[in-house]
Structure 1
């Protein structure tokens, strides 16, 4: 009798375990795969945060909608880019008066959007750059429900690059990625190769380690329960093992001028990881910008004007501002 009960109990546990593995992706919906939307309805609840976006924040109520570049006094155009699977990506393009200027394309971090980069758009525009920014798939105003930082995101970035290269004033494309965005940018440099300069802010060394820290921050002591399912789902979306996304290895074959930016107190992507990417870079021209006491989210804030000046100066020296029609531009116009 006891043996029969044990058999039924074990069978029940096995069935429950199988059901858990089969159904858990429906219950475990981490915002790494299903990002939080930060779109045009996002509201600022802190006047101090609003002040960073608009110097007239003193006149704003405590809760005020975020702005578009036009609210910051910038002439801009809406970008609508169609992907290979007919997803629409939304973005902004802010040209500067100097038609020979380089074009900087910003790629935001996970669970972020173009809105969070409004200040960066203005700062780089004021330093003589054409600036473009778009919402990644499943982020902000862009369509899509599921996000993956692998080849799908790289292909999406390729379509945005195509759209920019079709513009008459585009002479050179520079890519700047933040966090997960830096991984997309570096993969693009390997697969696409049309960027003339790269800025990698807080690049991690390996996606395996990044996901482990992400899972612990999200689930704490329950990480051992949910992480295997999350890990498996992420690999299905990537189409390869997560440990295969090794940024130092990718950097070792990229010779595009590269600037690595990191915060000394970054709690999500350790500075040692970003340094490993910098050390491995095969770029003949590379530089490192360390912002002391900065975490993952406040590098630009603590870096201040020097942060933007260093990045803009690197791009100007790495990519000469002169008129030329590259073979990439001709291909994009076909």
Structure 2
């Protein structure tokens, strides 16, 4: 009996401090055999070189008519750029050049671990510079979903090269969202100090500082126009986190769009045409002033 308890304790310790930290920072790769051409759009597939030497996979899709702005689209954790192809018919014919990017350690991009914005914010700035090179003289912004939204806030707080942002289903603190995730994975109500130890272990493995990943604090330093979107029924990241991010924004021009009945990953499905009209209304407004 004692040996069984010891084995169970050892097994749980391995799960908690070896498997779980790696699961948090090592995304599932999704390789999807689709591209913008499957939707009838001309595109350029290329790679983007990061400051630390990684090649990130991208699709550049130019506007099909007179261009009015550029938009970089950032997906969430365990996702891929192909899952955001549905945005192309809602943006490209309306004058927006779009750059879809696989985040580091996702899809067809290089890298092993994600750092939730600690390094990714610089990748975003590199993507914005690529867009400005491909389509010069146009206002350039970012759209980010979930982790992508958290990364977008951190990038906007650091770089004036980003003119505007759309932040969807994003979290306020990495520690809070990790606590919720670890409790779901373990089936236990884990104490917060355990989560801090877990994240310290993740820091050591991936070489980053989780305490510096604070989208809420970043939001207070953002001055660009921002549209915050959140599903009212989001069970992964509670809608209150979206409201907190909106309230914290230092932007003079900011909007909050709560999508009734939507969860974390079904906002476009639930919001439908109204969602995309609201998205374009914001884009049209922030690109018209340039």
Q: CA deviation at 1:246?
A: 3.0
8 Å Cα contact 2:21/2:199 also seen in 1: no
8 Å Cα contact 2:21/2:202 also seen in 1: no
- 1:229-261 deviation line (CA, Å, top 9, x unaligned): 53213344474343x433332212211000000
Q: CA deviation at 1:292?
A: 0.4
Q: CA deviation at 1:124?
A: 1.9
Among 99, 108, 118, the alignment partner of 1:132 is 99
Mark the structure with the bigger radius of gyration. 1
Q: CA deviation at 1:264?
A: 0.5
Question: What TM-score do you get using the length of structure 1 for normalisation?
Answer: 0.77
For the residue of structure 1 that corresponds to 2:217, the secondary structure is helix
1:157 matched to 2:124? The reply is yes
- Counterpart residue number, 2:209: 240
Report matched runs for 1:209-288 at 5 Å: 209-221=176-188, 227=195, 230-236=198-204, 237=206, 239-242=208-211, 244-288=212-256
- Counterpart residue number, 2:40: 73
Structure 1: where are the runs of 5+ without partners?
A: 1-8, 41-65, 323-334
- Counterpart residue number, 1:84: 51
Among 247, 265, 268, the alignment partner of 1:300 is 268
Distance 1:170 1:217 in 2: 46
1:207 matched to 2:199? The reply is no
1:33 matched to 2:22? The reply is no
- 1:55-95 deviation line (CA, Å, top 9, x unaligned): xxxxxxxxxxx421101011111131111222110010110
Distance 1:293 1:219 in 2: 28
Among 32, 36, 61, the alignment partner of 1:94 is 61
- 1:170-193 deviation line (CA, Å, top 9, x unaligned): 512110110111111111011122
For the residue of structure 1 that corresponds to 2:48, the secondary structure is strand
For the residue of structure 1 that corresponds to 2:255, the secondary structure is strand
8 Å Cα contact 2:175/2:195 also seen in 1: no
- Counterpart residue number, 2:284: 316
8 Å Cα contact 2:64/2:92 also seen in 1: no
Q: CA deviation at 1:97?
A: 2.9
C-alpha RMSD over aligned residues: 2.6
Structure 2: where are the runs of 5+ without partners?
A: none
8 Å Cα contact 1:39/1:113 also seen in 2: yes
For the residue of structure 2 that corresponds to 1:265, the secondary structure is coil
8 Å Cα contact 1:32/1:111 also seen in 2: no
Relative to 1, partners in 2 of residues 1:271 and 1:166: Cα closer, same or farther, differing over 3 Å?
Answer: same
8 Å Cα contact 1:107/1:134 also seen in 2: yes
Report matched runs for 1:90-129 at 5 Å: 90-129=57-96
Distance 1:103 1:321 in 2: 14
Relative to 1, partners in 2 of residues 1:306 and 1:238: Cα closer, same or farther, differing over 3 Å?
Answer: farther
Relative to 1, partners in 2 of residues 1:168 and 1:275: Cα closer, same or farther, differing over 3 Å?
Answer: closer
8 Å Cα contact 1:201/1:260 also seen in 2: yes
8 Å Cα contact 1:264/1:293 also seen in 2: yes
Relative to 1, partners in 2 of residues 1:34 and 1:170: Cα closer, same or farther, differing over 3 Å?
Answer: farther
8 Å Cα contact 1:103/1:170 also seen in 2: no
- Counterpart residue number, 1:6: none
